[in-house]
């Protein structure tokens, strides 16, 4: 069943899906602000901090195929609610961690728990809204949901300064539990949708065969690699290295770097809303996608060529975050590749690249930054400007290669079928 009207039931459904997804955005971005504090408390070097940031994305990516199978077989409600309880358990472990192993384990569990929050929503949108509205719905989901990332900047910095990072994460864990309880009745399928899903239910062997079939859809791999590099570039900077970079190169304290990252994430939120409309303007996916990725490459190249002055720092991050927020168009392009019976598995398989790319990216950038040497400042390692510049250059080069590969993708925009 599809619907185009935003009635009360649809609005409540959107609110539930977006609220839960915002928690995933908070968890994945939170290390950037509290990273220096974690480094001091647990004695972490750059590689360990990179691992702590990336382990969320590893478990998130690892869970995508099971999530896709569950969405197509059991529906969005059962999948989202069960994984949300896992996220709640992981947040408690993270907040109470006595050592680095427990801290990383808690973040690993959080990543697995958040693994269905975005794909579950997209699965609902793909089945209940017309195809030409999918990019807009994905943009709304990402744009409003990214308020969770905003909460992981200045608000998290303020809460950590007042209550400590542990109490802050305990609070977010309890919020996760409350939202899960609220979401149970709102995510109930209507009888027509439930009947259609049950009629399509496949054996495990058939479900797994569908995963293979999704990976063989024409243009799957160009979309896989552009998604693996685009969001990971943003997550590596704003979600992990932004805080240490601002602290160590520009001498910013917790509140200052929280404000700068807040503005950058706000620019991404605005970009997510605006980019979600552009495919309807171009009547195609690729033009908007290449403009957004190209703008991100330019900003990364500028940051790699020479450290921007303090005055130009925030504008550079704002422009970068805005351009790299082209994710809704890339997601809609990916959705257009798959028939309805493969939507859950196809989108989650693409998201393996999206989140797996962040895992690889954050781990690799940690090694790159550390390879240029460090010095101890206030009990924590501080890294050289050259290390951060090399990191920016690596991200720009990866985006360029992926964009060139993406130009070969077919563009199945709904407007071309009329």
Q: How many CB atoms lie within 10 A of CB 307?
A: 17
DSSP string, 158-227: HHHHHH-HHHHHHHHHHHHHHHHHHHHHHTPPPHHHHHHHHHH---HHHHHHHHHHHHTSTTHHHHHHHH
Looking at the domain assignment, is residue 1 inside a domain?
no
Residue 379 CA, chain-centre distance (Å), reads: 31
Looking at the domain assignment, is residue 154 inside a domain?
yes
Looking at the domain assignment, is residue 2 inside a domain?
no
Q: Report the C-alpha gap between 200 and 198 in whole angstroms.
A: 5
Name the range with the highest mean pLDDT among 91-95, 198-202, 259-263.
91-95
Q: Report the C-alpha gap between 293 and 320 in whole angstroms.
A: 9
Query: Dihedral (C-alpha) 266, 271, 273, 279: value to the nearest 10 degrees?
Result: -170
What CATH code is carried by the domain that includes residue 178? 1.20.1250.20
Q: Is the dihedral of CA 372, 315, 29, 137 positive or negative?
A: negative
Residue 4 binned pLDDT confidence (cut-offs 50, 70, 90): very low
Looking at the predicted structure, is the pLDDT value of residue 57 above 60?
A: yes
Contacts of 267 (CB under 8 A, 6+ apart): 317, 318, 319, 321, 322, 325
By the 8 A CB rule, do 256 and 369 touch?
A: no
Looking at the predicted structure, is the pLDDT value of residue 199 above 60?
A: no
DSSP 88: H
For 99-123, the pLDDT digits (tens) are 999 999 999 999 999 988 888 888 7
For 167-183, the pLDDT digits (tens) are 988 998 899 888 888 87
Name the range with the highest mean pLDDT among 329-333, 344-348, 410-414.
329-333
Looking at the predicted structure, is the pLDDT value of residue 129 above 70?
A: yes
Residue 322 CA, chain-centre distance (Å), reads: 15
Query: What is the Rg, in whole angstroms, of the alpha carbon atoms belonging to the chain?
Result: 20
Looking at the domain assignment, is residue 329 inside a domain?
yes
For 282-336, the pLDDT digits (tens) are 888 899 999 999 999 999 999 999 878 888 889 999 999 999 989 888 988 888 8
Looking at the domain assignment, is residue 237 inside a domain?
yes
Looking at the domain assignment, is residue 43 inside a domain?
yes
By the 8 A CB rule, do 371 and 380 touch?
A: no
Count up the domains in the chain and report the number: 1
Q: Report the C-alpha gap between 112 and 63 in whole angstroms.
A: 6
Q: Report the C-alpha gap between 84 and 104 in whole angstroms.
A: 18
Q: Is the dihedral of CA 299, 300, 303, 308 positive or negative?
A: positive
* Domain housing 95: 8-417
Q: Report the C-alpha gap between 201 and 212 in whole angstroms.
A: 17
Looking at the domain assignment, is residue 193 inside a domain?
yes
Looking at the domain assignment, is residue 381 inside a domain?
yes
For 72-94, the pLDDT digits (tens) are 777 788 888 899 999 999 999 99
């Amino acid at each position: 069943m599809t619907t185009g009207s935003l009635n009360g039931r649809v609005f409540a459904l959107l609110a539930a899906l977006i609220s839960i997804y915002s928690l995933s955005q908070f968890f994945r971005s939170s290390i950037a602000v509290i990273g220096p504090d974690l480094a001091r408390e647990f004695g972490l070097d750059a590689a360990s901090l990179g691992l702590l940031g990336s382990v969320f994305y590893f478990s998130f990516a690892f869970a995508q195929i099971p999530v896709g199978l569950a969405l197509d077989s059991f529906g969005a409600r059962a999948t989202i609610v069960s994984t949300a309880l896992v996220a709640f358990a992981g947040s408690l472990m993270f907040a109470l961690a006595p050592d680095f192993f427990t801290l990383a384990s808690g973040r690993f569990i959080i990543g697995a728990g958040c693994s269905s929050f975005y794909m579950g929503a997209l699965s609902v949108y793909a089945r209940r809204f017309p195809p030409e509205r999918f990019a807009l719905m994905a943009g709304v989901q990402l744009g409003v949901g990214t308020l969770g990332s905003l909460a992981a900047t200045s608000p998290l910095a303020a809460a950590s300064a007042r209550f400590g990072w542990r109490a802050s994460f305990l609070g977010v864990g309890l919020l996760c539990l409350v939202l899960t309880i609220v979401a149970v009745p709102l995510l109930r399928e209507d009888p027509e949708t439930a009947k259609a899903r049950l009629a399509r239910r496949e054996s495990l062997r058939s479900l797994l065969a569908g995963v293979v079939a999704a990976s063989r859809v024409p243009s799957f791999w160009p979309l896989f690699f552009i998604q693996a590099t685009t969001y990971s570039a943003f997550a590596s900077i704003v979600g992990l290295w932004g805080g240490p970079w601002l602290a160590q190169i520009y001498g910013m304290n917790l509140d200052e770097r929280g404000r700068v990252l807040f503005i950058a994430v706000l620019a991404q939120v605005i970009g997510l809303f605006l980019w979600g409309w552009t495919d309807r303007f171009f009547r195609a996916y690729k033009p908007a996608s290449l403009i957004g990725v190209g703008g991100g490459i330019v900003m990364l190249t500028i940051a790699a060529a020479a450290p921007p002055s303090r005055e130009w720092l925030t504008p550079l991050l704002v422009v970068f975050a805005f351009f790299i927020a082209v994710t809704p168009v890339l997601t809609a392009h990916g959705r257009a590749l798959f028939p309805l019976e493969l939507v859950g598995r196809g989108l989650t398989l693409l998201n393996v690249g999206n989140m797996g790319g962040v895992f690889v990216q954050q781990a690799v950038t940690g090694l790159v930054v550390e390879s240029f040497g460090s010095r101890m400042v206030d009990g924590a390692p501080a890294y050289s400007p050259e290390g951060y510049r090399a990191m920016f250059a690596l991200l720009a080069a990866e985006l360029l290669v992926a964009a060139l590969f993406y130009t070969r993708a077919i563009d199945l925009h709904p407007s071309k079928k009329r």
